[in-house]
Amino acid sequence: MSANQEDGILIPVDKEPQSEAPKTAEEQYFSAEDVQKIRQQEKDKMYKRLEDADKRVKTMEDQLSTLSQDREKAIKEAAERAKSEAEIIRQREIEELTAKELLLKREDEFNSRINQVEQEWSQKFSQLEEDRQAQAALLEKERFAQQLDSYRQRRIAEEQETIIPELRDLVAGNTPEEIENSIAVLRDRSSAIIYSIQQTSTPRVKGAPVTAPPSGPLDNQTDYQTLSADDIRNMPMDQYMKMRERLLTATRNPRGRY
């Protein structure tokens, strides 16, 4: 081995194929300086790859951080949007509930007013019906009173020969039967008076003044009172005749006070 070969490392090298003709592999020798350069180059390449890897890792970390921030931001925005939507829904439910409550309240007020109006009109109709029945009863009573008075006047005229004039005004009664009873009593009384006069042989004198019957509490009544249709129908005729003017006057009063 020569001196040049002792300073380096002998390694086999594949020769590149020649286009002209194939060559055999030859041994090539590198000096220590070449080896050092090769090592340095490899180190530089390795460092470069490590730096590139660090950069890639850094870039990935930055990208991951960015993605994480974007994710957190998206989550926060989604949460805020969900909260806002939930608040909108809650407010809408409150408004709908308030509207329903207001509608129910208005409906209750409307129904209450309808019931009140119905009650008022029911009372008015009842009062009108009572007034109508009272008017009908009064008309019926007045018709009967006129019939009874006509009957009384006719019977007095028929009994002129049996009842003295001074007693004819005393013919009274609430029914035709009572008038007939009254006529029978006055007929007997007239006969007794005439007989007494004839017995004494004195000139006929005018009959004793007729004493008016005592007035009852209705004769002096000045307060107003309300009479129903039944009250008028069941009223005795003598009492009706005493209250006749007031009853007929009351027919022109809308409230029918007697």
Share of the chain above pLDDT 90, in %: 12
Cα–Cα distance measured from residue 256 to residue 249, given in angstroms and rounded to the nearest whole number: 9
Q: What pTM was estimated for this model as a whole? A: 0.40
Domain count, the chain: 1
Cα–Cα distance measured from residue 143 to residue 244, given in angstroms and rounded to the nearest whole number: 12
Higher pLDDT, 24 or 163: 163
Residue 185 within any structural domain of the chain: yes
Structure confidence at residue 185 as a pLDDT band (50, 70, 90):
very high
Sign of CA dihedral 234, 239, 241, 242: negative
* Residue 30, H or E segment: strand 26-30
Contact 145, 237 (CB under 8 A): yes
Identify the domain containing residue 230 by its residue range: 131-205+219-250
Q: What is the DSSP letter of 257?
A: B
pLDDT of residue 154: 93
What distance, in Å, lies between the first and last C-alpha atoms of the chain?
A: 166
Residue 135 within any structural domain of the chain: yes
- What is the pLDDT of the chain when averaged over all its residues? 76
Structure confidence at residue 216 as a pLDDT band (50, 70, 90):
very low
Residue 55 within any structural domain of the chain: no
